[in-house]
Amino acid sequence: MTRKVILLSFSFAILLFAWSYHPIAVHRGCSFTAFDIGQGDSLFIRTSDGQDILIDGGPDDTVVQKLSQALPPGDRDLELVVLTHPHADHVNGLVAVTQRFTVRQALLTDVKFHQGAYAAWLDELTKQHVPEYVAVAGQRYHIGTATLDVLWPARNLSHDTIEHDNAANGGGVNDSSIVMKLTCDGGQAMLMGDASSDIEERILESGADVHAELLKVGHHGSRFSSSVKFLAAVKPIFAVISDGQGNRYGHPHPTALLHLERVGATILRTDQLDDVRLETDGRGGWKRK
């Protein structure tokens, strides 16, 4: 057999193999993680094109270790950090995050509230020259393949001062929370911060589209959030509750759990499951990771 015939036969074999080989497609979509950081909130979103969003930092520096485990080796950038509101269980960990990672931009309400870690974080943003944006309903932010639509607060709060916090009854600083709807690779999620049922009602009155398969339950599943009317509008398949084991607030409250069960949501709690991870399924929904 001549060398030319051998080469032709070899080339034909390669073409035949390529034609017959059908690799199994693996969908790698947008991932959503509620970190188990005790009694507090810290959510991590990684888009399918490798952009990273952190929403709140929890009550201490635990979030730093969580991020180091969640990010790929050598990746120390966070394209967006969001502080929903300046309570300790949301802001404390952000100081260390901003010191140890490169934060490309920050989204906050800039409401005036006396809290040590909040002041320290604002100082750190200034020191690191991090661009800051004030959240107002109607804004839309694009981070890679993710879109964040701000649904609350209804107006700019940067000139407001909150001196008397009524957090015990679900209001106060909690109701200044940034509420957003995430859309990422077809999956949608409602991210509620610690907003109360009063804010849920006002968001519904605004005509905002709140339907989403994934719900980050408001205020750690307290009795002041997750109204029946609001949950009926969201229609969540998955309801994620970020709470600490044996927390002194009794979160999640039985009433909130009952409301979630009534709408048929699968309840996923960090106090029971450690980190809660989901990923878009390529069909417009979410699946457990």
pLDDT of 171 > 90? The answer is no
| DSSP secondary structure code for residue 174 in this structure | G
pLDDT of 168 > 60? The answer is no
Which tokens sit at 17?
Answer: 């193999």
C-alpha–C-alpha distance, residues 120 and 33, integer Å: 26
> How many C-alpha atoms does 175 have within 13 Å on its Cβ side?
20
Give the chain's end-to-end CA distance (angstroms, integer).
55
CB of 242 closer than 8 Å to CB of 34: yes
C-alpha–C-alpha distance, residues 203 and 46, integer Å: 26
25-288: which CATH number, 1.20.58.220, 3.40.710.10, 1.10.540.10, 3.60.15.10? Answer: 3.60.15.10
Tell me the H-state helices in the chain: 3-20, 62-70, 88-100, 116-127, 197-205, 228-234, 254-262, 270-273
Q: Phi first, then psi: give them for residue 11, nearest 5 degrees.
A: -65, -40
pLDDT of 285 > 60? The answer is yes
pLDDT single digits (tens) 73-128: 999 999 999 999 999 999 999 999 999 999 999 999 999 999 999 999 999 999 99
Q: What is the pLDDT of residue 169?
A: 63
C-alpha–C-alpha distance, residues 289 and 280, integer Å: 10
Q: What is the pLDDT of residue 247?
A: 92
pLDDT single digits (tens) 235-258: 999 999 999 999 998 999 999 999
Which tokens sit at 200?
Answer: 């849920």
> How many C-alpha atoms does 174 have within 13 Å on its Cβ side?
25
**Mean pLDDT, residues 148-165 taken together:** 94
Model confidence band, residue 192 (pLDDT cutoffs 50, 70, 90): very high
240 has which bridge partners? 216, 268
Prediction pTM value: 0.90
